[in-house]
């Protein structure tokens, strides 16, 4: 049985997003792009929520919060 990464599974579910320069196909790909953006928005919201744990007393919460906060900093969307 072949194993897939989460990225590969989502790519198969969402479909291609890069324009093919053909009107009908690009309409489908545009819808795929909107779905990908919506998913990304939700995932970034989840990561942002976890980042609020970076100052908690518990080590495991701090570790997760710091990891999430560092990621948001790295992609340039952190606004502390």
Domain boundaries, the chain: 6-74
Beta carbons within 8 Å of 65's beta carbon, 6+ residues apart: 50, 51, 52, 53, 54, 55, 56
pLDDT band of 12, cuts 50, 70, 90: very high
Mind listing the pLDDT tens digit for each residue in 39-68? 999 999 999 999 999 999 999 999 999 999
Closest CA to 69 of 37, 55, 36: 55
């Amino acid at each position: 049985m072949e194993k897939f990464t989460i990225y590969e599974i989502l790519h198969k579910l969402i479909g291609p997003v890069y324009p093919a320069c053909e009107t009908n196909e690009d309409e489908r790909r545009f819808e795929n792009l909107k779905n990908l953006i919506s998913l990304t928005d939700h995932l970034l919201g989840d990561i942002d929520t976890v980042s609020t744990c970076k100052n908690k007393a518990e080590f495991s919460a701090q570790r997760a919060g710091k990891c999430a906060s560092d990621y948001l900093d790295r992609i340039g969307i952190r606004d502390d």
